[in-house]
Amino acid sequence: MIKKIAILTSGGDAPGMNAAIRAIVKSAHCNNIETYVVKQGYLGLYKGDIVKVNNDDIEHILNLGGTFIFSARFPEFKDIANRKIAKKNLDKLGIDALVVIGGDGSYKGAQKLSELGINSIALPGTIDNDIASTDFTIGFFTAWNTIVNSIAQIRDTMNSHHRIGIVEVMGNKCQDLSFFSGISSDVDYTAMPDEVLTAKDVARIYEISKKNKKNSCLILVTEKTYKNIHEFASKIEKETKVVTRATSLGHIQRGGMPVPMDKYIATMMGNKAVELLIAGKSSRCIGIVNNKFVDYDIERALDQPRTNRTEMVRIINKINR
């Protein structure tokens, strides 16, 4: 029976990570298990920055964006020597289990730690929704909501000036933030991560929007597609002779109070992580699939292919124009 659980958040932070931490701490205490938090992900595990937490430490965090135990990217964790130091730090405190909240990179870290004998469970925490073993990740719903609201605001001002607008969203090469935001926004065209539009392509989309008597033309593109989104806007302006403005939504997509759906999945997954550890499971990751909370072996989960949205995006682009 496990006695002490540590929790860490790793990779890009995501709204709802705090709700997951809260659920883990509360569920653990209901089962007389002590809880610890590791500051700054695997970096803190390596440095031994681990502190004990009780229910009163997490009382206020349900609605907080970000992660109150901080996150980090620590590529040096790929080195087994550093993971061994991390294990020693856990052993010193008698910690026998770890819950990692993060994306697929963080999953790999958790899997490698379980090979060293640490009971590890991974929860999907990333705005990108790029983990194939779950329909949705913690943080995705909030980022999606932020994007849709931002696009509506940009459309207002583009309409007022009869402009072309380019909106760039995050996603780290995953199609989901673009796809789900495009389908629920008033954009004329949604370009997926692998689609590089030219100024001439945009001019064609603009002509259709004019024919459809729209006051402006709005195009959603994904980060890492254009080196400089403002230079792309200038090229479009030259091609169309229509004033064009680009907005990269940037890190506002990562912050903010989690929406209810993120708090819901975070809480259910946090509770399930403790249940799995009590049942003696390790190297498992949790997901929500077809409305059920499920768990998989981490290595097998990482091998699953992601859902491809390319066909579905054609439907959006037909309906939205």
Residues annotated catalytic, as ranges = 128
Q: How far is CA 259 from the centre of its chain?
A: 13
Q: Which is nearer to ligand ADP, 96 or 104 (CB)?
A: 104
Closest contact distance (angstroms) between CB of 63 and ligand ADP is 22
CA atoms of 65 and 26, how far apart (whole Å): 19
Q: Could you tell me if 123 and 10 are in contact, meaning their C-beta atoms sit under 8 angstroms apart?
A: no
- Taking residue 132's Cβ as centre, other Cβ atoms within 10 Å add up to 18
- Closest separation in Å from C-beta 189 to ligand F6P: 21
Selected from 22, 163, 254, 263, the binder of ligand F6P by CB under 6 A is: 254
Nearest to 118 by CA among 101, 98, 99: 98
Considering the complex, state which of residue 171 and residue 270 has its C-beta at the smaller distance from ligand F6P.
Answer: 171
Q: Does 126 bind ligand F6P (CB under 6 A)?
A: yes
Cβ atoms within 10 Å, residue 292: 9
User: If binding means CB under 6 A, how many residues of this protein chain bind ligand F6P?
Assistant: 10
Q: How far is it, in rounded angstroms, from Cα 273 to Cα 6?
A: 12
If one asks whether residue 128 binds ligand F6P (CB under 6 A), the answer comes out as: yes
Q: Binding to ligand F6P (CB under 6 A): which residues in 213-232?
A: 223
Please tell me the distance from the alpha carbon of residue 186 to that of residue 190, in angstroms, as a whole number. 10
How far is it, in rounded angstroms, from Cα 244 to Cα 147? 20
By CB under 6 A, residue 124 contacts ligand F6P = no
Should residue 176 be labelled a site residue for ligand F6P when binding is judged by CB under 6 A? no
User: How many other C-beta atoms are found inside a 10 Å radius of the C-beta of residue 319?
Assistant: 8
Chain contacts with ligand ADP (rule: CB under 6 A):
10-12, 42, 73-75, 77-78, 102-106, 108-109, 112, 126
The candidate with the shortest Cα–Cα distance to 283, out of 121, 105, 124, 100, is 121
Find which of ligand F6P, ligand ADP, none residue 127 binds, CB within 5 to 8 Å per kind. ligand F6P
Smallest distance, Å, CB 262 to ligand ADP? Answer: 16
Least Å from the CB of residue 127 to ligand F6P: 5
- When asked if residue 127 is in the footprint of ligand F6P (CB under 6 A), the reply is yes
Q: How far is the CB of 110 from ligand ADP (least distance, A)?
A: 8
Residue 66 binds which one of ligand F6P, ligand ADP, none, with CB within 5 to 8 A depending on kind? Answer: none
Q: Residue 295 and residue 6: Cα distance in Å, rounded?
A: 19
Q: Are 203 and 148 in contact (CB under 8 A)?
A: no
Residues binding ligand F6P (CB under 6 A): 12, 103, 126-128, 170-172, 223, 254
